[in-house]
Structure 1
């Protein structure tokens, strides 16, 4: 079954990551079927999640009974129990679910999940640690790596970027980064273009290879 953006999502495993994900998906208007094998956890979330059931996700028949086979998108949010994570993912693949997101606790775990058919691997602890490291170590206000070597960064402009139109600044040629948006104090973010002139106090969003955005944010 092919997946599309409006399709409902089955979230399996309701620890901190899974429950937060299920609640946020619901807040955004996505229909969610939340599953956990622990009755107390399911009961504690029954008032917040519309569809939350107790089931053993390592049992194919249990998955069929709660309707997981009807979904085109699923998230395996089981982390600490590697055997359950791997078995659940393999059962979802066997059910023909097209879009499977699987939480991994290590890169090795993630590689195993990929080999058995998970289409997306999530390493929440690693990704958050990497993001915080970038924020702590420099002038970045926010950091998001969108590929293995490409990032979006929120920061403040370097001195040499202030007071001159971006089209004349040569920043892209010199540093290999692109300033994609800017926020002046008291205003909302807007697109940056060749005529944009940055000022001290502005906040900018830049895009580029990780090493280049890091270099640019370290400029005085």
Structure 2
């Protein structure tokens, strides 16, 4: 999930943003720490900021740079170089006031790619109004993903937008042993098998001639309601 978020963030998601330099992550709690670690693993430099000296110390060896900063203070942000950043993520958790004031300060600095974590829809609307270019709801998104995983036979669930997703699952018995083009899958369920993975093999594209075996894994794309109906039938 974090890696998908990073790709969206650095791409600008609707804006033509060319990322450069360090990514600034504000708030090094669970979400901010996970995001920062993913960015580092992907080869990006990260400046992590937090008002907690303990959290800053914990991330000293993990991130490119860290600093203890009151991020609601625009002058403090300037002093640590945030004004020169292209992409900043506000990962502040329960302190809604600090989250909003920090986002507003970043907007005043004219940061071109501001992402902010929201706790609720109302919080998200405020963040957007004070200058966040993109608002995310990681707890809600994770809750939706886990709900799909624990209530069926799905191995992975990735939402691509509000009404379209990819799911990974074991090949359903009705698809085994026949070419996908003869399975009537698209007409019956309105979903598509995108790729498959044989036992001991690697994922590869699926087409009309693909014949699945009993222990294959498949990735299926479709609208959420259609995917839920398909998963429930297997």
Both proteins in one fold, TM over 0.5? yes
CA–CA distance in structure 1, aligned partners of residues 121 and 212 of structure 2: 41
Q: How far has the Cα of 1:20 moved from its partner?
A: 1.8
Unaligned runs of 5+ in 1: none
State which of 210, 218, 231 in structure 2 corresponds to 1:204: 218
Cα deviation code 1:76-133 (max 9, x no counterpart): 0001100000111111112111211111111221122122221222212211111111
Moved beyond 3 Å, runs of 4+: none
Displacement of 1:7 in angstroms is 4.4
**2:128 paired residue among 109, 114, 119:** 114
Name the structure 2 match of 1:130. 144
Q: Quote the Cα distance in structure 2 between the aligned partners of 1:131 and 1:145.
A: 8
Identify which of 128, 139, 146 aligns with 2:160: 146
Residue 219 of structure 1, CA deviation: 1.6
**What 5-or-longer segments of structure 2 have no aligned partner?**
1-15
Kept after mapping to 2: 8 A contact 1:6/1:30: no
Q: Which moved more, 1:89-98 or 1:75-84?
A: 89-98
Please give the per-residue CA displacement for 1:145-198, whole angstroms capped at 9, x wherever unaligned: 111111110012222212111122221122111110101111111111111111
- Give, in whole Å, the separation in 2 of the partners of 1:70 and 1:6: 10
Correspondence 1:82 to 2:96: yes
1:164 aligned residue: 178
- Structure 1 residues 6, 142: CA separation in 2 closer, same or farther (over 3 Å shift)? farther
Distance 2:210 2:20 in 1: 37
> Compared with structure 1, are the counterparts of its residues 146 and 7 closer, same or farther at alpha carbon in structure 2 (3 Å cutoff)?
farther
- Give the number of aligned pairs: 220
- Aligned CA RMSD, in angstroms, stands at 1.6
Residue 24 of structure 1 corresponds to 38
How far apart, in 1, do the equivalents of 2:176 and 2:129 lie?
Answer: 49
Greater alpha carbon shift after TM alignment, 6-15 vs 31-40: 6-15
Distance 2:122 2:214 in 1: 45
CA distance in 1 between counterparts of 2:190 and 2:129 reads: 35
Residue 203 of structure 2 is aligned to residue 189 of structure 1: yes
Aligned to 2:51: 37
Contact 2:19/2:86 (8 A) holds in 1:
no
C-alpha distance in 2, partners of 1:193/1:35? Answer: 48
Q: CA–CA distance in 2 between the matches of 1:63 and 1:216?
A: 50
1:39 is displaced (CA, Å) by: 1.7
1:73 matched to which residue of 2?
87
